[in-house]
Amino acid sequence: MNTKTLVIVGHGMVGHRLVEAMRSRDEAGQWRIVVFGQESRPAYDRVSLSSYFEGASEGELSLVADDVRRDQAVELRLGARVVAVDRDAQTVRTASGQTRGYDTLVLATGSYPFVPPVPGRDLPGCFVYRTLDDLDAIRTAAEAAVARGDPGRRSGVVVGGGLLGLEAARALRLLGLSPHVVEIAPRLMPVQVDEGGGALLRRLVEDLDVAVRCGVSVQSIAKGPRGRGLVAALSDGIELDADVVVFSAGIRPFDQLARAMGLPVGERGGVLVNDYCRTADERIYAIGECAAIAVRGAVGGVGRTYGLVAPGYAMAEVVADRLLGGGATVTAADLDTSTKLKLLGVDVASFGDAHASTRGALEVVINDPVAGSYQKLVVSDDAKTLLGGILVGDASRYATLRSLMGSKLPADPVAMIAPGGVAVGADELPDSAQICSCNAVTKGTLRAAIAKGAHDVPALKACTKAGTTCGSCLPTLKLLLKQSGVTVSKAVCEHFACSRQELFQIVAGTGIQTFSELVARYGSGRGCDICKPAVASILASTGACGSHILDGEQATLQDTNDHFLANLQRNGTYSVIPRIPGGEITPEGLIAIGEIARDFKLYTKITGGQRIDMFGARVEQLPAIWRRLVDAGFESGHAYGKALRTVKSCVGTDWCRYGVQDSVSMAILLELRYRGLRSPHKLKSAVSGCARECAEARSKDFGVIATEAGWNLYVCGNGGFRPRHADLLAADLGTETLVRTIDRFLMFYIRTADRLQRTAPWLEAMEGGLDHLREVIMDDKLGICAELDAAMARHVAGYSDEWRGVLEDPVKLARFNSFVNAPGTPDPTVEFVDRRGQRVPVGYDRGSQRVLISGPTLQVAGK
């Protein structure tokens, strides 16, 4: 048999996928493969490009396994740019003059960054964000800026607020610069998200020290004063100082070779190919970002290019099949642009007809600014078929919803995205449902792999490639394994093979005080947004770190709200809630809060936990507000943390004629004892002075109800979308026994619960349930009560107010600015309107033609 030569021009992710597909299928050895890569490096993972700044090496990002390097049928030529193709002679020529013949040629040249024609775009300090060489250059410039030691100028401007632009902003943060994203569209990620999703995304991104300006463009770039740095002039007249400017304003297909050899290209660029990726020349194919593919039924019509890796992978698989005698074609489903990403720590997902362009489509939207979640489904005009969706803030439902796209909905669309609503399990999905959209892996394929012995996630990834690209389908893979009777790992994440409970024991037993030491000794990699906050909570609750949560490395581990010791709100401002133990407050305290709210123009509201919430504080105002509160005798209420929130109370025997115990004093005692206690999830409590239960103690994580003989203790209740009454743990307890029992209950919960597990599901999942809990913390069945008592004693003795800790530390204070290069300058994008005598955020009316849930109001309308 004569061996034919396949020449692939381009060794990116898609080009390398073709190499892998050919070598895994070409058992007869029909083809010899020659790959020309323009970069000096072999193919690497561009999806994870920013991890390069988190410590990932070139080797870790590389996609080329050793067996490919050793494969005698694959010739890899790096640093070899193909500049010409002779279609008649069937040869390619490189910039160095080398020529190589081909039987079949595949163009996998990808794309190049689009740089707007801005005066000054070629100045030193201006970069694009595309290759590892680009990242090396950005790193060098950023390190030089940081080394200069001028905090007023350690900043960067990112031109473009799409997927790559937000990744670039994340990279600048990792390099120690303060990024400022400029997007010409009215919102971030305009292709993937709508107005509502874009508004929430902006607020969440701005909370992470990234300034955002939408609806403006960069007009020019000039050298800064005295030749230091750069100045970017915007279309609205604002000038931004910057050490670096990164252009991430989109991509264009790299189709110059095709144009030079006379192949037809699309109206917007890209080599025109048919549904099996062949060009007008039967010996030449094109795949990936350089291909403008014509597929019937694809969104966007025919001749469209695709900038995501999943469609490129599908094209590579089809070409491999065709070259080996098959008849595969690219389908509209293969060109799905669904994506789920974590951008700057914010989950964003978009799939299908996200913008409801289908005739008669209805939009179902639940926007919860308090929880930081925007959920939207696009359904058919009869509300029975899922067409697409957008998820911002919480994308946990993405894998399931993406799999149902085009199928009949198993439940009401509102219930499917409402918090605590209908959960569609993997067992309810048909075998045809696509679980991994990046690699087009169906549920049926995964079930078959499990039946053949793939009994863990790594094995499933190896044999099906599911979960090997973006990773968003990994939770579903675990569910499928569990439903197949396979024991699933309880690992916290990919960086720690142990559970949260085991991590807690490691920290408590070894005395480890930092995340870095913990991951180095007992984990792998550099951690992620799952394990870092979990470990931060463990370090705080065990007292292992022995410092403020914003000290040193601890600050980098915290969740969004903990990072600023306040709750982020829908317009990018924060709410401030001082602690009011038991709900008891003096007239002087009320006056102090009123004066602070008046002076800072804050919206005030009484909370359900008997506290006063002040909304609308800008980040640079927080320390000044805290100073006034601390001077008036208040401290942090920890409303921002996974910690004790409040201990609510009725007035008890002091005033109520039905009261049988002093509920206010008890509530104050408990709140002051457990304040600042970090836990797997938030904790709420209440004390009622009699059986009439005015404080609603049985809806709390731990609740106390007075009796004639003492106190009844109830545990593991909660309100919310799935209310659960607390269970009676013990009756008629004296005060000392009550407090000791609560101490042990809380410490046992902190010690054994899973990450983000409330006390109610913790108890429900506990083997032996309430009886076992009672045996552990009251009968000392496990012999750990002394340890639990000691742990609580350490917490009580070590408590300090986190607000005061910031006020007493200039380093911590420095982080509370809207703009690093202009301390004290308010964010001009934050605007308010007056409503009922107070200020509320402006510009968040989502309009009609949606399902909106806001307070008690539910509006439904079609498009």
Domain assignment of residue 795, yes or no: yes
Q: What is the CATH number of the domain that holds 735?
A: 3.30.413.10
Question: Any idea which of 127-136, 443-452, 795-804 has the lowest mean pLDDT?
Answer: 443-452
For residue 472 the two structure tokens come to: 């968003």
Same domain, 260 and 325: yes
For residue 300 the two structure tokens come to: 């966007």
pLDDT of 705 strictly over 90: yes
859: confidence class by pLDDT, cuts 50, 70, 90 = very low
Same domain, 12 and 80: yes
Element of type H or E holding 435 = strand 434-436
Same domain, 243 and 142: yes
- What would the mean pLDDT of 583-589 be, rounded to a whole number? 95
Which residue pairs, CB below 8 angstroms and at least 24 apart, start in 479-484? 479/425, 479/426, 480/426, 480/435, 480/443, 480/446, 480/447, 480/450, 481/450, 481/455, 481/456, 481/457, 483/425, 483/426, 483/427, 484/447, 484/450, 484/451
718: confidence class by pLDDT, cuts 50, 70, 90 = confident
Domain boundary among 334, 353, 371: 334
Same domain, 790 and 647: yes
Same domain, 647 and 536: no
Domain assignment of residue 308, yes or no: yes
Closest CA to 863 of 353, 416, 352: 353
pLDDT of 150 strictly over 70: no
Same domain, 671 and 794: yes
pLDDT (0 to 100) of residue 847: 37
**pLDDT tens string 84-98:** 999 999 999 999 999
Same domain, 171 and 36: no
- Range(s) of the domain holding residue 506: 500-558
For residue 463 the two structure tokens come to: 């044999």
Domain assignment of residue 75, yes or no: yes
pLDDT of 115 strictly over 50: yes
**pLDDT tens string 206-243:** 888 789 999 999 999 999 887 788 999 999 999 999 99
Same domain, 674 and 777: yes
Domain boundary among 318, 334, 350: 334
Domain assignment of residue 835, yes or no: yes
Domain boundary among 277, 299, 334: 334
Closest CA to 712 of 722, 727, 700, 699: 727
Residues 6 or more apart whose Cβ sits within 8 Å of residue 211: 178, 179, 180, 181, 818, 819, 827
For residue 241 the two structure tokens come to: 């100082």
Same domain, 537 and 663: no
DSSP class per residue in 824-845: TPPPTT--EEEETTEEEESS--
Secondary structure of 539-595 as H, E, C letters: HHHHCCCCCCCCCHHHHHHCCHHHHHCCEECCCCCEEECECCHHHCCCHHHHHHHHH
pLDDT of 752 strictly over 80: yes
Same domain, 511 and 449: no
Same domain, 471 and 531: no
**Dist CA 13 CA 61 (whole Å):** 11
Residues 6 or more apart whose Cβ sits within 8 Å of residue 718: 684, 699, 700, 701, 724, 758, 759, 760
Domain assignment of residue 395, yes or no: no
Same domain, 75 and 151: no
Domain assignment of residue 158, yes or no: yes
How many independent structural domains does the chain possess?
Answer: 7
**pLDDT tens string 778-799:** 999 999 999 999 999 999 999 9
Q: Are 608 and 644 in contact (CB under 8 A)?
A: no
Domain assignment of residue 406, yes or no: no
Domain assignment of residue 401, yes or no: no
